[in-house]
C-alpha cells in the first residue's frame, strides 16, 4: 500500500533523512521506532507532503506522490495524526470532527460522526466545547477521531502516547489495536515496547537511516533492541 | 435635541453599511494576520462597478448590486494574488499573473489608439487568466518565505494607489452620480418627526441580510470551518485536506464582495461616487475592527454601529469637522483601556 524508497529530506543544510526505505502492506500495522531526533516525524512529514523531500520515491496505492501538495495527498486517503495533537483549538469538538471529513463528498458523514461519538463518548459530551479546553488525553481522542472521519486507507500516527498519563496511554493503545481491524496503520513511537506489542513489523530509525528491521516479535526478543529501546520498564 | 430619533436612524443605516465593510476587513485579518489597506479601494471600485452597470450597460439597479459584489470579490482575489500571495510564496504562475497585469494596465491607462488599446487590455486579461491557472495548479513554489510584517501593508498601499489612479483615469477625479429616479424618494415616517427613505431602508435591510448570510457561512458551512481552521493553523488545515490557497481566495472574495456591497449602498445613499471615497471609510473601518477586536466578526458588526452612531451624532450636535476627531478619540480610548478591543480575545476568527 505504501512503499518508500531512498527518501531524503533536509532542513536547510541539515540532512535529516539520508535514504530511508520501508513498506507498509495493506492491512498491517508497521511501527517506526527510534530515539528522539532519529527522523521519525520527518519521515511522516515527507510522506504526507508537509515537507518536500529532496529525493527518493513514495508510492501510495501505486501512485508516485513524493513532492505532492499535502491536501492532495490527504484526499487520496492518507491521514496523518501529527505529533503534539494539534487540535484546532478555537473550533468546537464537533467542528474539528466535521473538518476531518473535509475531503469527503458522500452522504454518510453524519453516520460516521455518530460512530465516532459511540467510540469516544467523552467527545460526545463535549461536542459543543472549544477543543482547547480538552485535556491532553481527550485531545488525543479528538485527533484520532478527526483522522478517522476522513475514512483513511492509511493512518499515520506520530507519537500518539507522548506526554499522556499511563492510564490514558493504555486507553490510546487499546483504541489503536481496535483500529487495526479497520485500516492500515503506520505507527511512530518512542514507546517502543508498546509499539512492538501492537505492530506486525517494525523498522528502527537511527540518524536518518533504517538501522534494523524485522517482524515485531523478533525485534522484541533482540538483545540489542532490548538494551537500546526497551531497557527501562514503563 | 428633538431630532434625536432621526439622527439615530441615520446612525443605524450608516453603521450597517460600515459593518459590511469592516466584517470583510476583519475576516482577512483573522485568517492571514494582514491588514488589507486596499479594502477601501475595493469598496470604491464596488461602487463604480455598479455605476458602470447602470450607466453603460443600462442594467437595473437590482442586477447592478450583485454584479458589483461579484466584481469587487474578484478584484479582491486578484489583489491577493498580486500583492499578498507572492509575499507568502512565489510561483511561476504568480509571475505570469504580474506580467499580464502590467500589460492590462498599459492598455487601460496608456495613451494608445482605440484598437490597440482593446487588444492590449484583452491580451493582458488572458495572460492574467493563464497566470491564475498556472498558479492554481503548481505544486511547488519557486520560493516560500517569511516576510517582515510591514511588507503586506506597503504592498496594499501600492495596490490602493494603482486602483485609485485607474479609477481617476476612467471616471475623472470629480464626483460621479447615479442617474436620478433609481429609487422612489418619498420617505416613510418612522415617528412623527423621524423619516427613513426607501434607499436607506434598502441599505439597512441588505446589510443586515448579508450579515446574517456571512454569519451562517462562517459558522455553519464546511467552507466557513475551513476558513477558521486556516486562521488557527495552516499546517493542520493542509493535513485535513484543505487547499489553503483556494480557501484564502474564497476569503478574499467574501471580503471584497462585502466591501463592494458597502460601496454601492453608500454610493447610492449619498449619490456621490469619487475615486478617493475609499480613504474615508478606511479610517472608520480600521477603528471599527480595532474596537471590535481584531479578527472578531461579531465584534466588528457591533463596533460598526457604535462608530456609525458617533459619526452621525458628532456631525449633528457638535460640528462636522469634529467627526473624525471623535472616531479617533474612540480609537485611542480603546487602545489605552483595552488594546485587544472591546470584544477581542485572541487573533482567531470568531462570529
Ligand atoms: N523544523 C526543523 N528545523 C531544523 N531541524 C529540524 C527540524 N525538525 C527536526 N529537525 C532535525 O531533524 C532531525 C530529525 O528530527 P525528527 O524527525 O523530529 O525526529 P523524531 O521525530 O524521530 O524525534 C533532528 O536532528 C532534528 O533536530
Ligand atoms: Mg518526532
Ligand closest to the CA atom of residue A82: 2
- Domain positions in chain A are 2-85+154-230
The CA-based angle B286-B290-B292, given to 5 degrees, is: 115
State the Cα–Cα distance between residues B31 and B235, nearest whole angstrom: 13
Helix, strand, coil percentages for chain A (3-state, nearest 5) = 40, 30, 35
Gyration radius of chain A over CA positions: 17
A16 in ligand 1 pocket by Cβ < 6 Å?
A: yes
Reply yes or no on whether the pLDDT at A234 is more than 70: no
DSSP-derived pairing of the beta strands A154-158 and A78-81: parallel
Indicate the top mutation candidate among A42, A43, A191 to test ligand 1's pocket, ranked by most ligand atoms within 8 A of CB: A42
Task: Residue A89: list chain B partners with CB under 8 A.
Answer: 232
Instruction: Name which of A33-42, A123-132, A153-162, B87-96 the model is least confident about.
Output: B87-96
pLDDT tens track for B280-296: 899 899 999 999 988 88
A11 in ligand 1 pocket by Cβ < 6 Å?
A: yes
pLDDT (0 to 100) of residue B41: 97
Binning pLDDT at 50, 70 and 90, where does residue B66 land? very high
Binning pLDDT at 50, 70 and 90, where does residue B77 land? very high
Looking at residue B186, the DSSP 8-state letter turns out to be P
Report chain A's mean pLDDT, rounded to a whole number. 93
A2-85+154-230 topology per CATH: Rossmann fold (3.40.50)
Q: Where are the beta strands (DSSP E) in B187-240?
A: 188-189, 195-196
* Nearest residue on chain B to A78, alpha-carbon basis: B239
Reply yes or no on whether the pLDDT at B347 is more than 80: no
pLDDT (0 to 100) of residue B351: 47
Q: State percent of chain A over pLDDT 90.
A: 86
| Residue for grid cell 464546511 | B222
Candidate CATH numbers 1.20.120, 3.20.20, 1.10.3470, 1.10.443; the one for domain B4-91+139-176+197-349: 1.10.3470
pLDDT (0 to 100) of residue A140: 95
Give mean pLDDT, residues A159-182.
92
pLDDT (0 to 100) of residue B149: 79
pLDDT tens track for B89-130: 888 888 899 999 999 988 888 888 888 888 999 999 999 999
Binning pLDDT at 50, 70 and 90, where does residue A119 land? very high
pLDDT (0 to 100) of residue A233: 47
Answer yes or no: do A99 and B239 touch at CB < 8 A.
no
Answer yes or no: do B239 and A103 touch at CB < 8 A.
no
DSSP-derived pairing of the beta strands A63-64 and A55-60: antiparallel
- Which residues, 6 or more positions from B325, have their beta carbon under 8 angstroms from its beta carbon? B314
Please give the residue that has the higher pLDDT: either A231 or B309: B309
pLDDT (0 to 100) of residue B345: 60
Measured between CB atoms, which of B228, B242, B350 is closest to A102? B242
Q: Where are the beta strands (DSSP E) in B190-318?
A: 195-196
- Which residues, 6 or more positions from B83, have their beta carbon under 8 angstroms from its beta carbon? B38, B152, B155, B156, B158, B159
- Domain positions in chain B are 4-91+139-176+197-349
Binning pLDDT at 50, 70 and 90, where does residue B150 land? confident
Give mean pLDDT, residues A113-132.
95
Q: Would you say B122 and B88 are in contact if contact means Cβ atoms under 8 Å apart?
A: no
DSSP-derived pairing of the beta strands B188-189 and B195-196: antiparallel
A97 in ligand 1 pocket by Cβ < 6 Å?
A: no
Reply yes or no on whether the pLDDT at B253 is more than 50: yes
pLDDT (0 to 100) of residue B1: 62
Q: Would you say B264 and B70 are in contact if contact means Cβ atoms under 8 Å apart?
A: no
Answer yes or no: do B225 and A98 touch at CB < 8 A.
yes
A41 in ligand 1 pocket by Cβ < 6 Å?
A: yes
Closest ligand 1 atom, residue A12 Cα: 4
Please give the residue that has the higher pLDDT: either B205 or B88: B205
Binning pLDDT at 50, 70 and 90, where does residue A154 land? very high
Give mean pLDDT, residues B130-149.
75
Answer yes or no: do A90 and B140 touch at CB < 8 A.
no
- Which residues, 6 or more positions from A217, have their beta carbon under 8 angstroms from its beta carbon? A196
Report chain B's mean pLDDT, rounded to a whole number. 90
* Cell, residue A197: 506489542
pLDDT (0 to 100) of residue B71: 98
If you count residue pairs, one on A and one on B, with CB atoms under 8 Å apart, how many are there?
A: 74
Phi and psi at residue A19, in whole multiples of 5°? 95, 75
pLDDT (0 to 100) of residue B276: 94
Buried b (16+ CB within 10 A) or exposed e, B278-316: beebbebbbbbbbbbbbbbbbbbbbbbbbbbbbbbbbbb
Reply yes or no on whether the pLDDT at B162 is more than 90: yes
Q: How many CB atoms lie within 10 A of CB B273?
A: 23
**Which ipTM was obtained for this model?**
0.93
State the Cα–Cα distance between residues A25 and B182, nearest whole angstrom: 69
pLDDT tens track for B15-49: 999 999 999 999 999 998 889 999 999 999 999 99
Please give the residue that has the higher pLDDT: either B222 or A190: B222
Give mean pLDDT, residues B197-202.
92
pTM of the complete model beyond 0.90: yes
Binning pLDDT at 50, 70 and 90, where does residue B57 land? very high
Amino acid at each position: 500500500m505504501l512503499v518508500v524508497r531512498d527518501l531524503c529530506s533536509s532542513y536547510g543544510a541539515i540532512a535529516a533523512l539520508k535514504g530511508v526505505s520501508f513498506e507498509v502492506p495493506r492491512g498491517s500495522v508497521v511501527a517506526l521506532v527510534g530515539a528522539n531526533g532519529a527522523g521519525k516525524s520527518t519521515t511522516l512529514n515527507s510522506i504526507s507532503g508537509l515537507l518536500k523531500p529532496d529525493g527518493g520515491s513514495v508510492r501510495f496505492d501505486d501512485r508516485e506522490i513524493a513532492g505532492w501538495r499535502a491536501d492532495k495527498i490527504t484526499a487520496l486517503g492518507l491521514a496523518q495524526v501529527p505529533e503534539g495533537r494539534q487540535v484546532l483549538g478555537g473550533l468546537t469538538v464537533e467542528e474539528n470532527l466535521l473538518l476531518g471529513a473535509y475531503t469527503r463528498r458522500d452522504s454518510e458523514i453524519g453516520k460516521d460522526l455518530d460512530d465516532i461519538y459511540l467510540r469516544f463518548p467523552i467527545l460526545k459530551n463535549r461536542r459543543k466545547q472549544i477543543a482547547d479546553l480538552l485535556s491532553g488525553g481527550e485531545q488525543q481522542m479528538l485527533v484520532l477521531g478527526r483522522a478517522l472521519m476522513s475514512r483513511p486507507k492509511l493512518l499515520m500516527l506520530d507519537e500518539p502516547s507522548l506526554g499522556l498519563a499511563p492510564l490514558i496511554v493504555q486507553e490510546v493503545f487499546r483504541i489503536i489495536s481496535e483500529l487495526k481491524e479497520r485500516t492500515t496503520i503506520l505507527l511512530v513511537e518512542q514507546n517502543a515496547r508498546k509499539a512492538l506489542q501492537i505492530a506486525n513489523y517494525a523498522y528502527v530509525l537511527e540518524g536518518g537511516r533504517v538501522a534494523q528491521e524485522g517482524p515485531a516479535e523478533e525485534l522484541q526478543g533482540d538483545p540489542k533492541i532490548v538494551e537500546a529501546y526497551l531497557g527501562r520498564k514503563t | 435635541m428633538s431630532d434625536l430619533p432621526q439622527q439615530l436612524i441615520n446612525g443605524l443605516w450608516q453603521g450597517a453599511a460600515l459593518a459590511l465593510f469592516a466584517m470583510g476587513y476583519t475576516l482577512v485579518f483573522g485568517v492571514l494576520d494582514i491588514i488589507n489597506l486596499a479594502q477601501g479601494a475595493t469598496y470604491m471600485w464596488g461602487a463604480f462597478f455598479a455605476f458602470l452597470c447602470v450607466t453603460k450597460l443600462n442594467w437595473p439597479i437590482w442586477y447592478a448590486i450583485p454584479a458589483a459584489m461579484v466584481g469587487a470579490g474578484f478584484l479582491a482575489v486578484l489583489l491577493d494574488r498580486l500583492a499578498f500571495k507572492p509575499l507568502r510564496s512565489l510561483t511561476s504562475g504568480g509571475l505570469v499573473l504580474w506580467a499580464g497585469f502590467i500589460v492590462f494596465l498599459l492598455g487601460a491607462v496608456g495613451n494608445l489608439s482605440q484598437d490597440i488599446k482593446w487588444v492590449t487590455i484583452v491580451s493582458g486579461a488572458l495572460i492574467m487568466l493563464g497566470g491564475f491557472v498556472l498558479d492554481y495548479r503548481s505544486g511547488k513554489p519557486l520560493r516560500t518565505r517569511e516576510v517582515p510584517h510591514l511588507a503586506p501593508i506597503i504592498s496594499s498601499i501600492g495596490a490602493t494607489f494603482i486602483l485609485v489612479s485607474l479609477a481617476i483615469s476612467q471616471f475623472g477625479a470629480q464626483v460621479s452620480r447615479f442617474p436620478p429616479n433609481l429609487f422612489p424618494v418619498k420617505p416613510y415616517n418612522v415617528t412623527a418627526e423621524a423619516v427613513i427613505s426607501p434607499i436607506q431602508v434598502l441599505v439597512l435591510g441588505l446589510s443586515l441580510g448579508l450579515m446574517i448570510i456571512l454569519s451562517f457561512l462562517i459558522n455553519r458551512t464546511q467552507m466557513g470551518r475551513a476558513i477558521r481552521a486556516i486562521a488557527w493553523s495552516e499546517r493542520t488545515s493542509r493535513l485535513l485536506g484543505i487547499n489553503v490557497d483556494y480557501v484564502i481566495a474564497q476569503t478574499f472574495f467574501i471580503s471584497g464582495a462585502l466591501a463592494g456591497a458597502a460601496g454601492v449602498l453608500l454610493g447610492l445613499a449619498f449619490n456621490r461616487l469619487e475615486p478617493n471615497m475609499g480613504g474615508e471609510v478606511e479610517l472608520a473601518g480600521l477603528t471599527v475592527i480595532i474596537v471590535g477586536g481584531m479578527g472578531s466578526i461579531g465584534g466588528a458588526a457591533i463596533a460598526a454601529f457604535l462608530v456609525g452612531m458617533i459619526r452621525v451624532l458628532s456631525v449633528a450636535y457638535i460640528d462636522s469637522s469634529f467627526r473624525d476627531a471623535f472616531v479617533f478619540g474612540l480609537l485611542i480610548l480603546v487602545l489605552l483601556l483595552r488594546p485587544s478591543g472591546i470584544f477581542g480575545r485572541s487573533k482567531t476568527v470568531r462570529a
